[in-house]
């Protein structure tokens, strides 16, 4: 099986999570090449389909306010890739964001789902580097899934263009390969 070849109907379900004011919606609009001049906090969720390199990326952007977070689990089903966005300049919330990420990684419905962590707002002078965030969140202890942390600025678009980031594609190809193998096994057994 060639993992680098997509078919026209290849869909990838991406769940976009993180604390409020992290820049999730701005990041999503950048990915969709939309205007980012008027962004308001997401009170529920946004869904965008982005065509890229022969894939249809269905991105679910869920609000990050504390009162909305208990509802995140309603969106875990069938997630292929989890994107978690961190406000790199808001050091006061690193502990909180770390706890939320740890809880997500413990969720059974997200078991084995690759995680891409965007260390956002790198355009700000107070932003912590991605390496510092990775160390502070003990990301090196993640052993049950593929993961990557990437510095970015959703505001400027730096570091988020999917087509230029091979690790995003590696994660998606891995997910698609697993899906195809499961379908094959179901057909063979059934």
Task: Check the annotation: does 18 bind a ligand.
Answer: yes
Q: How far apart are CA 143 and CA 55, in angstroms?
A: 27
Pairing between β-strand 45-52 and β-strand 55-62 as defined by DSSP bridges: antiparallel
Task: Check the annotation: does 190 bind a ligand.
Answer: no
> What one-character-per-residue DSSP string does 13-82 give?
EEEEE-STTSSHHHHHHHHTT---SS----SSEEEEEEEETTEEEEEEEE--STTTGGGGGGG-TT-SEE
Task: Check the annotation: does 22 bind a ligand.
Answer: yes
Q: Taking a C-beta distance cutoff of 8 angstroms, is the pair 128, 119 a contact?
A: yes
Task: Check the annotation: does 122 bind a ligand.
Answer: yes
Task: Check the annotation: does 56 bind a ligand.
Answer: no
Task: Check the annotation: does 120 bind a ligand.
Answer: yes
Task: Check the annotation: does 92 bind a ligand.
Answer: no
Q: Which of 23, 35, 8, 48 is nearest to 154 (CA)?
A: 23
Task: Pick the catalytic residue from 43, 65, 99, 161.
Answer: 65
Q: 65 catalytic, yes or no?
A: yes
Task: Check the annotation: does 112 bind a ligand.
Answer: no
Residues involved in catalysis: 65
Binding residues for GTP: 18-25, 64, 120-123
Residues tagged in the binding site annotation: 18-25, 42, 64, 120-123
Binding site feature residues for Mg(2+) = 25, 42
């Amino acid at each position: 099986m060639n993992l680098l070849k997509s078919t026209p109907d290849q869909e990838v379900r991406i769940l976009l999570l993180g604390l409020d004011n992290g820049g999730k919606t701005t990041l999503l609009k950048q990915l969709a090449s939309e205007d980012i001049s008027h962004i308001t906090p997401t009170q529920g969720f946004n869904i965008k389909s982005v065509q890229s390199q022969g894939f249809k990326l269905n991105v679910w952007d869920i609000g990050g306010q504390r009162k909305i977070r208990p509802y995140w689990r309603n969106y875990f089903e069938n997630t292929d890739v989890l994107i978690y966005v961190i406000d790199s300049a808001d050091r006061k919330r690193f502990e909180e964001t770390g706890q939320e990420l740890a809880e997500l990684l413990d969720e059974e419905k997200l078991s084995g789902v690759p995680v891409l962590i965007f260390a956002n707002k790198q355009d700000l002078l107070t932003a912590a580097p991605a390496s510092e965030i990775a160390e502070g969140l003990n990301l090196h202890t993640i052993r049950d899934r593929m993961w990557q942390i990437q510095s970015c600025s959703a505001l400027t678009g730096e570091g988020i263009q999917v087509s230029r980031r091979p690790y995003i594609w590696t994660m998606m190809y891995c997910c698609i390969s697993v899906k195809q193998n499961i379908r094959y096994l179901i057909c063979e057994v059934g």
